[in-house]
Amino acid sequence: MSQDRLISEIREQPSVLDGLLRSGRSAVQALAEEVLRRQIAHVVIVARGTSDHSATYAKYQLGIAHGLSVSLAAPSITTLYDASLRLTPDTLVLGISQSGMSPDIVAVVAEARKQGVLTAALVNSTESRLAGVAEWVVPLGAGPEQSVAATKSYTAQLMALAMLSALLDQDSDRLAQLAAVPEAVRRALDLEEGIARRAERYRYMEHCAVISRGYNYPTALEIALKLKELTYTATTAYSAADFLHGPVAVVREGYPIAVVACQGRAWRSLQAFFGAMHERGAELITITDDEQLAQESAFGLFLPQTLPEWLSPIVAVIPGQLLAYHLARARGIDPEKPRGLAKVTETR
């Protein structure tokens, strides 16, 4: 098997996030000032794959903290149907991408700029097509991400969005909270040894649900994607509320459910969900900053450092990345070569 670039990139995340906090602030600050100057009320985000999960985080973060109306664009409106959204002057169109090369994402941002609305890109490659068409560019600074599965670029996207939110209202407490994230990620990486040992237990797992709610719903989406693309497990992510509206019928004795439950406003509903699934006999894999909940799980992944709920997704995804990597290894799958995938996917 090839050299493990993926696990190296997973382990790089604390330094990437620390670097973004230090070197990326001026670009994020400039975008925040422009958002305020133009009195932006609506945000339309265009993204694909992992970056789409970052966009979902933005829906929660910008909606909850700033009351902004946030929607995710359907790029095929522009590229397949030759139609255009009628955008109002108080709209920001934000492209989020690791490579910045997918034509459909570029086309939506380019069309928005033609209409004269504010356009911006969160992108790892500043020489990309997306960076070239956006009016404002926030470089993620994650460095070359060579593995097919995105890891460090994803957490950098979340951090950039969190920074944007904190800088929009210049809240000194929230800005200070950002500084704790790299160390929290570093401590979460310490879970790797235990995850590597336990991965063998799930070697023959064929189906799995990944559940969360609120800020960490994007974390459930991203962990489910990593399990699918690296281990070929049929994995579906749900909001805990949506899961109870039908999909719960699949739960039987021993059915594996991964629950991301960090303390905050969504905590009580996720705690209740955990109890209900425990009563049904589900095998619960839990990523949580609550030690008791971790102990009550079949496989509890206890996050040793608690962050405010709005920042917890940057840390909570780490155990999911590690589980996907080590489960792939336990199954004899090379995580550097997920079948049918390429690093840059150009959709139109």
For the domain covering 183-330, report its CATH number.
3.40.50.10490
Locate 276 and state its tokens: 């209900």
How far, in Å, are 218, 225, 230, 237, 337 from residue 234 at the CA level?
A: 18, 10, 11, 10, 18
What b-and-e string marks burial along 269-302, b requiring 16 or more CB atoms within 10 Å of the CB? Answer: bbbebbeebeeeebbbbbbbbbeebbeebebbbb
Distance between CA atoms of residues 235 and 225, nearest Å: 7
pLDDT tens digits, 111-134: 999 999 999 999 998 889 999 999
Find how far residue 281's CA is from the centre of its chain. Answer: 29
pLDDT tens digits, 313-326: 999 999 999 999 99
Mean pLDDT over 330-346 rounds to 72
Grade residue 347 by pLDDT with cuts at 50, 70 and 90: low
CB-facing half-sphere around the CA of 265: CA atoms within 13 A: 7
Locate 178 and state its tokens: 């950002």
Grade residue 2 by pLDDT with cuts at 50, 70 and 90: very low
| Residue 344 confidence (pLDDT) above 60 | no
Distance between CA atoms of residues 220 and 239, nearest Å: 8
pLDDT tens digits, 147-162: 888 999 999 999 999 9
| Residue 297 confidence (pLDDT) above 60 | yes
Beta strand pairing call for 42-46 and 136-139: unpaired
Mean pLDDT over 288-317 rounds to 97
Distance between CA atoms of residues 29 and 27, nearest Å: 5
Mean pLDDT over 162-188 rounds to 96
Helix (H, G, I), strand (E, B) or coil at 24: coil
Grade residue 1 by pLDDT with cuts at 50, 70 and 90: very low
- For domain 5-178, the question of CATH label 3.40.50.10490 is answered with yes
State phi, psi for 96 to the nearest 5 degrees: -120, 125
State phi, psi for 150 to the nearest 5 degrees: -75, 135
pLDDT tens digits, 221-274: 999 999 999 999 999 999 999 999 999 999 999 999 999 999 999 999 999 999
pLDDT at 313: 98
pLDDT at 61: 98
pLDDT at 283: 96
Where does CATH 3.40.50.10490 sit in the chain?
Answer: 5-178, 183-330
Grade residue 100 by pLDDT with cuts at 50, 70 and 90: confident
Mean pLDDT over 176-199 rounds to 97
Distance between CA atoms of residues 337 and 2, nearest Å: 9
Cβ atoms within 10 Å, residue 305: 14
